[in-house]
Chain A
C-alpha cells in the first residue's frame, strides 16, 4: 500500500527530475522532507518495482527505429508459456503480452510489438517469429495515425 506521502512523492517525481545541481534537494524542499529521506524513498520504490526504471524515456523515432508494428498471434492456450517466452527473447520485440481472445471477432491472444527500419522489415521479423514458434495465424497492425500519446499522470486528483 502507498501512503499519502508516497503518493505526493510520485506526483512530484512524475513532473520530471529538475535540471539543477541537487534535483532531489529541490523536490524534497517542495515536499517538506529531507533530501536523504527522498533519496531513500526513491531507492525503495525502485527496489519494490513501483518505479520500473529511473532514467529517461526517449522518443525512439529520433534514434533511428523508424517503423514498428503490433503483431497479434493466435496461440493455443497450452503453448502460451513457451511461445510467449520465445517471442520475448527476440531483440526486435519490445513488448510481449498475453491478452484474452474475444471470439468470434478476435481470435488473437498474444500481442507483440516489433521494431524495424521499414514496414517491410517488420513483416520479415513477424515471418521469422512465425517460423520460430510454429504459430501460423497472425496479423500485423500498423499504426496509420497517432491520435494521442501522453505520459500517465498518477494521483492528479488530491
Chain B
C-alpha cells in the first residue's frame, strides 16, 4: 500500500510509543493536527494492510517469565515441508526461517519454563527423527532495536 505523509508521521510516532492515557488516539490527533476519527481510520487501514503487525504492548518474554531459545536443524531438502509442519505446529514457535547453510532450518521457541523448553526440544527430535540440532539460547543481549519488527517481542 502507499503511505501518505501523515501515515508515515503516525507510524514514526507510534513505533516508539503510544500514549498511555484514557484517550490515546485523541492525543495523537492533537500532536499530528488532525481528528481522532482520522487517526482511528488510518490505524484500522494500516492494521488491515498488515503494515502494523501489533498495536499496543510488546512484551519482554523473560520478564514475563518465559524461557526461550534459538534452534538450528539440518533438514534434508526433501523433508523441509514435512519437518516445518511439525515445528510450526508448536505454539511456542514464533519464527521459522529457511537459511542458506547446512543447518538450514532456524526457529525460535518460547515456552513458560526451562523444563518445558527441554521437553519440547526432545519432542521435536523424536517426532522428526532429526537429532542434529543446535540449541543456541541467548547468553547476553547487547542490543534489540525496538522499532524493527524482527522477533523483538520474542528475545529467545
Instruction: Compute how far the CA of A62 lies from the CA of B147 in the bound complex, rounded to whole angstroms.
Output: 13
Q: How far is the CB of B26 from chain A (nearest CB, A)?
A: 7
Q: How far is the CB of B96 from chain A (nearest CB, A)?
A: 4
Which residue of the partner chain B has the closest CB to A151?
B54
Size category of the B interface is 35 or more
Contact in complex: A152, B153 (CB < 8 Å): yes
Q: How far is the CB of B113 from chain A (nearest CB, A)?
A: 12
Contact in complex: A16, B56 (CB < 8 Å): yes
Contact in complex: A55, B16 (CB < 8 Å): yes
Complex interface: chain B residues within 8 A of A97 (CB): 138-142
The interface residues of chain A, by DSSP majority, are classed as mixed
Contact in complex: B57, A56 (CB < 8 Å): no
Q: How far is the CB of B8 from chain A (nearest CB, A)?
A: 8
Q: How far is the CB of A41 from chain B (nearest CB, A)?
A: 10
Instruction: Compute how far the CA of A113 lies from the CA of B61 in the bound complex, rounded to whole angstroms.
Output: 19
The 4 A-B pairs of least Cβ separation, nearest first, read A88-B143, A17-B56, A148-B96, A96-B142
Contact in complex: B99, A142 (CB < 8 Å): yes
Complex interface: chain B residues within 8 A of A105 (CB): 103, 134
- Given known contacts A45-B57, A145-B98, A151-B53, A84 and B150 CB-to-CB distance under 8 angstroms: no
Contact in complex: A21, B25 (CB < 8 Å): yes
Q: How far is the CB of A138 from chain B (nearest CB, A)?
A: 13
Which residue of the partner chain B has the closest CB to A101?
B136
Instruction: Compute how far the CA of A12 lies from the CA of B14 in the bound complex, rounded to whole angstroms.
Output: 20
> Which of A53, A65, A80, A84 interacts with B146 by CB under 8 Å?
A53
Complex interface: chain A residues within 8 A of B144 (CB): 52, 94-95
